[in-house]
Chains A and B, each alone.
Chain A
């Protein structure tokens, strides 16, 4: 019996619980190769929808959803002349979170969700924190895809710290390394 590798398939082309699954063609698609273990619905969703946020990162998606009030803030939302947050800047921040979260998840690490907050100059802050360490990234309100960050392994003793700027549209291995400090339950 040939061993089939799971392919990107149209999940809607067949029924998942079809009873007469004795045809090896169907078996290869619905079972993990070389096993009798069937793909779960999650597995098939990942195969069919590689861009969909997986359930292990739902906590991040929830925080993103809760932060959408930022898009409704009008000018002077702090009574001191604060700017409205441009949607493009908000989306840039959200894309950044999703991109790094998914990339780090591929290394089998689930990071915690950041605190997402608006600034009066129209930029967005992303703050990751654990008991002692902090990583703060400011997504600038500019056309350049730039953010400025500061990280400290111990906020009370900032000997091990880093700060600088990063491009927000690519995965920077060093920044990824710092983010991995903020795994869930850590």
Chain B
């Protein structure tokens, strides 16, 4: 989660973090990864459409329990989608843990808003640093 998607007052993830124009949110399955490994992997990814690596210092890691997503009936499905290229592609590292939170087909716009809000409510911090967040927000506005 990018620091621009975290509320500086409540220090909570914002619903704005859980949006993707293709209605698919990338995440890592903790069966094959740890929060630290996920964060390290971010540094090996290119920024979208560029040949420039992302800065992992701009990101924090949250976790979501699949059970909680299912129970809330927010029309989201979780799909294991491992990334594997031989040889590995620079800027798009192999990731056995990669998964997707996908919206169901025909989901209405209002339901998408609901899903984003619920996801932001049920996620938990795995890697978070308040001082680092404050510094990022004040220095890069």
Known contacts: A148-B112, A155-B121, A165-B109. The answer to whether A79 contacts B16 by CB under 8 A is no
Known contacts: A78-B2, A125-B14, A165-B109. The answer to whether A150 contacts B114 by CB under 8 A is yes
Give every chain A residue within 8 A of B104 (Cβ-Cβ): none
- Is there an interface contact between A150 and B47, defined as CB atoms closer than 8 Å? no
- Is there an interface contact between B141 and A69, defined as CB atoms closer than 8 Å? yes
The docked-state distance in angstroms from the alpha carbon of A117 to that of B1 is 14
Known contacts: A78-B2, A79-B54. The answer to whether A163 contacts B47 by CB under 8 A is no
CB 8 Å contact bits of B74-113 with A (1 = contact, 0 = none) = 0000000000000000000000000000000000111111
Give every chain A residue within 8 A of B111 (Cβ-Cβ): 150, 163
B4 sits at the interface (CB 8 A) = yes
Q: How far does the Cβ of B3 sit from chain A's closest Cβ, in whole Å? A: 9
CB 8 Å contact bits of A85-107 with B (1 = contact, 0 = none) = 00000000000000000000000
Which of A72, A117, A165 is the one whose CB lies under 8 Å from B141?
A72
Interface size class of B (residues with CB under 8 A): 20 to 34
Give every chain B residue within 8 A of A77 (Cβ-Cβ): 2, 4
The docked-state distance in angstroms from the alpha carbon of A80 to that of B21 is 12
Give every chain B residue within 8 A of A148 (Cβ-Cβ): 109-110, 112-113
- Is there an interface contact between A120 and B110, defined as CB atoms closer than 8 Å? no
Q: How far does the Cβ of B57 sit from chain A's closest Cβ, in whole Å? A: 11
Restricting to A123-160, which residues have a CB under 8 Å from any CB of B? 125, 127, 134, 136-138, 148-150, 152, 155, 158
- Is there an interface contact between B47 and A76, defined as CB atoms closer than 8 Å? yes
Known contacts: A69-B141, A136-B116. The answer to whether A149 contacts B19 by CB under 8 A is no
- Is there an interface contact between A150 and B110, defined as CB atoms closer than 8 Å? yes
CB 8 Å contact bits of A41-79 with B (1 = contact, 0 = none) = 000000000000000000000000000010011001111
- Is there an interface contact between B113 and A163, defined as CB atoms closer than 8 Å? yes
The docked-state distance in angstroms from the alpha carbon of A127 to that of B12 is 12
- Is there an interface contact between A121 and B21, defined as CB atoms closer than 8 Å? yes
Which of B10, B55, B112 is the one whose CB lies under 8 Å from A79?
B55
Q: How far does the Cβ of B27 sit from chain A's closest Cβ, in whole Å? A: 13
Known contacts: A148-B110, A163-B111, A165-B110. The answer to whether A136 contacts B15 by CB under 8 A is yes
Can you pick out 19 interface pairs between chain A and chain B where the beta carbons lie within 8 Å of each other? A69-B141, A76-B47, A76-B48, A76-B49, A79-B54, A80-B2, A81-B47, A81-B49, A119-B16, A120-B16, A149-B113, A150-B110, A152-B117, A155-B117, A155-B121, A158-B72, A163-B108, A163-B110, A163-B111
Please name 5 further chain A to chain B contacts, defined as beta carbons within 8 Å, in addition to the given A79-B48, A163-B111, sorted by A numbering.
Answer: A115-B9, A125-B14, A134-B121, A136-B15, A150-B113
